[in-house]
Amino acid sequence: MVLNSYSKINLSLSINNKLKSGLHEIQTYFCLINLRDKIKISTNSKKKDQIFFSGPFARNIKRSNNTITNLLKFLRKIKLISNYYSVKVIKNVPVFGGLGGGTSNAAYILRYLLKEKINKKLFYKIEKLIGSDFKLFFYKQGFLENFKTIKVLKKKQKLIFLLSRPNINCSTREIYSKVTKFSKKNKFSYSKINTKRKFINQILNNKNDLQPIVEKKYPIIKKLLNDINKEKGCYLSRLSGSGSVCYGVFNHQSTAKKALHKIKRRYPRFWFSIAKTV
Protein backbone atom coordinates (compact mmCIF):
# COMPACT_ATOMS: atom_id res chain seq x y z
CA MET A 1 0.00 0.00 0.00
CA VAL A 2 1.26 3.49 -0.88
CA LEU A 3 0.12 6.38 1.31
CA ASN A 4 0.23 10.11 0.71
CA SER A 5 1.48 11.84 3.86
CA TYR A 6 0.49 15.49 3.45
CA SER A 7 2.20 18.37 5.24
CA LYS A 8 0.52 21.27 7.02
CA ILE A 9 0.93 25.02 7.17
CA ASN A 10 0.12 27.23 10.14
CA LEU A 11 -1.62 30.23 8.62
CA SER A 12 -1.58 31.85 12.05
CA LEU A 13 -0.26 30.84 15.45
CA SER A 14 -1.04 32.55 18.74
CA ILE A 15 0.52 31.43 22.04
CA ASN A 16 -2.12 31.82 24.75
CA ASN A 17 -0.63 30.23 27.85
CA LYS A 18 2.00 27.89 29.27
CA LEU A 19 0.57 24.91 31.11
CA LYS A 20 1.99 23.14 34.16
CA SER A 21 2.94 20.26 31.87
CA GLY A 22 5.35 22.59 30.09
CA LEU A 23 3.31 22.60 26.88
CA HIS A 24 2.03 25.83 25.40
CA GLU A 25 -1.64 26.31 24.64
CA ILE A 26 -2.05 27.68 21.13
CA GLN A 27 -4.64 28.68 18.59
CA THR A 28 -3.98 28.30 14.88
CA TYR A 29 -5.64 28.48 11.50
CA PHE A 30 -4.10 25.66 9.52
CA CYS A 31 -4.44 23.75 6.27
CA LEU A 32 -2.98 20.66 4.65
CA ILE A 33 -1.06 21.12 1.42
CA ASN A 34 -0.15 18.80 -1.43
CA LEU A 35 3.56 18.79 -0.56
CA ARG A 36 3.78 15.23 0.73
CA ASP A 37 5.95 12.30 1.68
CA LYS A 38 5.28 8.95 -0.02
CA ILE A 39 4.97 5.94 2.28
CA LYS A 40 5.05 2.33 1.07
CA ILE A 41 3.98 -0.05 3.82
CA SER A 42 3.62 -3.83 3.90
CA THR A 43 3.80 -6.64 6.46
CA ASN A 44 6.96 -8.67 6.75
CA SER A 45 7.78 -12.10 8.22
CA LYS A 46 10.63 -10.86 10.40
CA LYS A 47 10.18 -10.15 14.08
CA LYS A 48 11.08 -6.50 13.74
CA ASP A 49 9.98 -3.44 11.83
CA GLN A 50 12.15 -2.30 8.94
CA ILE A 51 12.00 1.44 8.38
CA PHE A 52 13.81 3.04 5.44
CA PHE A 53 14.02 6.73 4.55
CA SER A 54 15.08 8.15 1.18
CA GLY A 55 14.56 11.38 -0.70
CA PRO A 56 15.90 14.92 -0.33
CA PHE A 57 15.23 15.22 3.43
CA ALA A 58 16.08 11.73 4.66
CA ARG A 59 19.52 12.42 6.09
CA ASN A 60 18.34 14.09 9.31
CA ILE A 61 16.07 11.25 10.44
CA LYS A 62 17.08 8.55 12.91
CA ARG A 63 16.08 5.10 11.68
CA SER A 64 15.83 3.66 15.18
CA ASN A 65 13.95 6.50 16.86
CA ASN A 66 11.29 8.33 14.86
CA THR A 67 7.54 8.82 14.84
CA ILE A 68 6.91 5.67 12.77
CA THR A 69 8.96 3.28 14.91
CA ASN A 70 7.49 4.79 18.08
CA LEU A 71 3.94 4.44 16.77
CA LEU A 72 4.34 0.79 15.69
CA LYS A 73 5.95 -0.18 19.00
CA PHE A 74 3.14 1.48 20.93
CA LEU A 75 0.37 -0.15 18.89
CA ARG A 76 1.90 -3.58 19.46
CA LYS A 77 2.35 -2.89 23.15
CA ILE A 78 -1.38 -2.24 23.57
CA LYS A 79 -2.16 -5.17 21.25
CA LEU A 80 -3.89 -3.23 18.49
CA ILE A 81 -1.52 -4.74 15.93
CA SER A 82 0.53 -7.95 15.96
CA ASN A 83 2.30 -7.79 12.60
CA TYR A 84 5.68 -6.28 11.87
CA TYR A 85 6.07 -3.93 8.93
CA SER A 86 8.41 -2.84 6.19
CA VAL A 87 8.00 0.90 5.71
CA LYS A 88 9.74 2.90 2.98
CA VAL A 89 9.36 6.67 3.19
CA ILE A 90 10.35 9.14 0.48
CA LYS A 91 10.95 12.34 2.45
CA ASN A 92 9.89 15.25 0.26
CA VAL A 93 8.76 17.41 3.19
CA PRO A 94 11.56 19.43 4.82
CA VAL A 95 12.45 18.39 8.36
CA PHE A 96 12.86 21.02 11.10
CA GLY A 97 10.65 23.19 8.93
CA GLY A 98 7.36 23.63 10.80
CA LEU A 99 5.40 21.53 8.30
CA GLY A 100 4.85 18.52 10.57
CA GLY A 101 6.32 15.91 8.23
CA GLY A 102 7.18 13.32 10.90
CA THR A 103 3.87 13.75 12.71
CA SER A 104 2.05 13.42 9.40
CA ASN A 105 3.83 10.11 8.67
CA ALA A 106 2.56 8.66 11.95
CA ALA A 107 -0.95 10.02 11.44
CA TYR A 108 -1.43 8.51 7.98
CA ILE A 109 0.04 5.15 9.00
CA LEU A 110 -2.31 5.05 12.00
CA ARG A 111 -5.30 5.84 9.80
CA TYR A 112 -4.29 3.05 7.44
CA LEU A 113 -3.67 0.41 10.12
CA LEU A 114 -6.80 1.11 12.14
CA LYS A 115 -9.02 1.97 9.16
CA GLU A 116 -9.68 5.37 10.74
CA LYS A 117 -11.56 3.77 13.68
CA ILE A 118 -9.76 5.59 16.47
CA ASN A 119 -11.44 6.38 19.79
CA LYS A 120 -10.67 9.55 21.76
CA LYS A 121 -8.80 7.79 24.57
CA LEU A 122 -6.43 6.11 22.13
CA PHE A 123 -6.08 9.31 20.13
CA TYR A 124 -4.92 11.34 23.12
CA LYS A 125 -2.39 8.67 24.12
CA ILE A 126 -0.87 8.65 20.64
CA GLU A 127 -0.91 12.44 20.48
CA LYS A 128 1.10 12.54 23.71
CA LEU A 129 3.58 10.10 22.18
CA ILE A 130 3.89 11.70 18.73
CA GLY A 131 3.27 15.43 19.19
CA SER A 132 0.64 18.05 19.92
CA ASP A 133 0.08 18.80 16.20
CA PHE A 134 -0.99 15.19 15.58
CA LYS A 135 -4.70 16.03 15.47
CA LEU A 136 -4.26 18.56 12.66
CA PHE A 137 -3.65 15.81 10.11
CA PHE A 138 -7.20 14.52 10.44
CA TYR A 139 -8.66 17.73 8.93
CA LYS A 140 -7.94 19.45 5.62
CA GLN A 141 -8.54 22.94 6.95
CA GLY A 142 -9.56 24.21 10.35
CA PHE A 143 -9.06 26.36 13.40
CA LEU A 144 -7.46 24.86 16.48
CA GLU A 145 -9.37 26.61 19.25
CA ASN A 146 -7.67 24.85 22.16
CA PHE A 147 -5.89 21.56 22.90
CA LYS A 148 -9.02 19.47 22.32
CA THR A 149 -11.19 21.49 19.94
CA ILE A 150 -10.86 21.98 16.20
CA LYS A 151 -13.42 24.02 14.31
CA VAL A 152 -13.74 22.54 10.83
CA LEU A 153 -14.10 25.11 8.09
CA LYS A 154 -17.45 24.69 6.33
CA LYS A 155 -16.07 26.16 3.14
CA LYS A 156 -12.59 25.06 2.12
CA GLN A 157 -10.52 27.85 0.63
CA LYS A 158 -8.22 27.13 -2.32
CA LEU A 159 -4.84 28.67 -1.59
CA ILE A 160 -1.58 28.77 -3.53
CA PHE A 161 1.76 28.84 -1.69
CA LEU A 162 5.34 29.65 -2.51
CA LEU A 163 7.46 27.72 0.00
CA SER A 164 11.11 28.24 0.87
CA ARG A 165 13.35 26.58 3.41
CA PRO A 166 16.60 28.34 4.31
CA ASN A 167 19.48 26.07 5.28
CA ILE A 168 18.45 26.33 8.93
CA ASN A 169 17.23 23.69 11.36
CA CYS A 170 14.87 25.34 13.85
CA SER A 171 14.52 23.60 17.21
CA THR A 172 10.86 23.72 18.23
CA ARG A 173 11.76 23.29 21.90
CA GLU A 174 14.30 26.12 21.80
CA ILE A 175 11.98 28.53 20.00
CA TYR A 176 9.09 27.88 22.40
CA SER A 177 11.44 28.28 25.39
CA LYS A 178 11.95 31.91 24.39
CA VAL A 179 8.23 32.80 24.53
CA THR A 180 7.70 35.47 27.22
CA LYS A 181 4.45 37.11 26.10
CA PHE A 182 1.03 35.58 25.50
CA SER A 183 -1.81 36.56 23.16
CA LYS A 184 -5.47 36.78 24.03
CA LYS A 185 -7.63 33.94 22.79
CA ASN A 186 -9.67 34.57 19.66
CA LYS A 187 -13.33 33.67 19.33
CA PHE A 188 -14.02 31.70 16.18
CA SER A 189 -16.74 32.98 13.84
CA TYR A 190 -17.74 31.36 10.53
CA SER A 191 -19.07 34.67 9.25
CA LYS A 192 -15.55 36.14 9.33
CA ILE A 193 -14.18 33.56 6.89
CA ASN A 194 -17.07 32.55 4.60
CA THR A 195 -15.44 34.08 1.51
CA LYS A 196 -11.86 33.94 0.30
CA ARG A 197 -11.37 37.68 0.80
CA LYS A 198 -12.70 37.50 4.36
CA PHE A 199 -10.55 34.44 5.04
CA ILE A 200 -7.39 36.21 3.81
CA ASN A 201 -8.27 39.28 5.87
CA GLN A 202 -8.76 37.11 8.96
CA ILE A 203 -5.32 35.57 8.46
CA LEU A 204 -3.80 39.03 7.91
CA ASN A 205 -5.38 40.22 11.18
CA ASN A 206 -3.65 37.36 12.99
CA LYS A 207 0.05 36.51 13.13
CA ASN A 208 2.57 33.88 14.13
CA ASP A 209 3.74 34.72 17.65
CA LEU A 210 6.88 32.63 17.15
CA GLN A 211 8.00 34.52 14.06
CA PRO A 212 9.71 37.48 15.81
CA ILE A 213 11.68 35.01 17.96
CA VAL A 214 12.88 33.10 14.91
CA GLU A 215 13.64 36.29 12.96
CA LYS A 216 15.76 37.62 15.83
CA LYS A 217 17.81 34.43 15.94
CA TYR A 218 18.00 34.08 12.14
CA PRO A 219 17.83 37.53 10.43
CA ILE A 220 17.98 35.90 6.98
CA ILE A 221 14.45 34.57 7.58
CA LYS A 222 13.11 38.09 8.08
CA LYS A 223 14.81 39.19 4.87
CA LEU A 224 13.43 36.22 2.93
CA LEU A 225 9.89 36.84 4.19
CA ASN A 226 10.09 40.52 3.24
CA ASP A 227 11.30 39.61 -0.25
CA ILE A 228 8.45 37.13 -0.74
CA ASN A 229 5.91 39.66 0.50
CA LYS A 230 7.03 42.26 -2.06
CA GLU A 231 6.27 39.99 -5.01
CA LYS A 232 3.28 40.70 -7.22
CA GLY A 233 0.18 38.72 -6.26
CA CYS A 234 1.35 37.93 -2.72
CA TYR A 235 -1.33 38.40 -0.05
CA LEU A 236 1.02 37.77 2.86
CA SER A 237 4.24 36.03 3.87
CA ARG A 238 4.77 34.15 7.09
CA LEU A 239 6.65 31.45 8.96
CA SER A 240 4.97 28.06 9.47
CA GLY A 241 5.00 26.94 13.10
CA SER A 242 8.43 27.40 14.66
CA GLY A 243 10.05 27.35 11.19
CA SER A 244 12.25 27.33 9.31
CA VAL A 245 9.96 27.03 6.24
CA CYS A 246 8.74 30.42 5.03
CA TYR A 247 5.78 30.84 2.72
CA GLY A 248 3.83 33.36 0.73
CA VAL A 249 0.13 33.05 -0.07
CA PHE A 250 -0.49 34.06 -3.70
CA ASN A 251 -3.56 34.93 -5.74
CA HIS A 252 -2.66 32.60 -8.64
CA GLN A 253 -0.27 29.76 -9.38
CA SER A 254 1.20 31.74 -12.28
CA THR A 255 2.20 34.68 -10.06
CA ALA A 256 3.62 32.27 -7.47
CA LYS A 257 5.79 30.63 -10.16
CA LYS A 258 7.05 34.00 -11.39
CA ALA A 259 7.91 34.98 -7.84
CA LEU A 260 9.70 31.66 -7.31
CA HIS A 261 11.97 32.21 -10.32
CA LYS A 262 12.89 35.71 -9.15
CA ILE A 263 13.52 34.87 -5.49
CA LYS A 264 15.37 31.65 -6.29
CA ARG A 265 18.00 33.73 -8.08
CA ARG A 266 18.56 35.71 -4.88
CA TYR A 267 18.74 32.59 -2.69
CA PRO A 268 20.15 29.87 -4.96
CA ARG A 269 21.05 27.53 -2.09
CA PHE A 270 17.62 27.53 -0.47
CA TRP A 271 14.93 24.92 -1.12
CA PHE A 272 11.80 26.14 -2.96
CA SER A 273 8.47 24.67 -4.00
CA ILE A 274 4.98 25.62 -5.11
CA ALA A 275 2.09 23.99 -3.27
CA LYS A 276 -1.67 24.27 -2.89
CA THR A 277 -4.31 23.25 -0.39
CA VAL A 278 -5.47 19.63 -0.46
Which residues are known to be catalytic? Answer: 8, 133
Residue 178 contacts residue 211 (beta carbons within 8 Å): no
CA atoms within 13 A on the CB side of 136: 34
State whether the Cα torsion 39-43-44-50 is positive or negative.
positive
Q: Is the preceding omega at residue 244 within 30 degrees of 0, hence cis?
A: yes
Nearest to 13, CA basis, from 248, 258, 206 = 206
Question: What's the rounded Cα separation, in Å, for the pair 43 and 175?
Answer: 39
| Residue type, position 235, single letter | Y
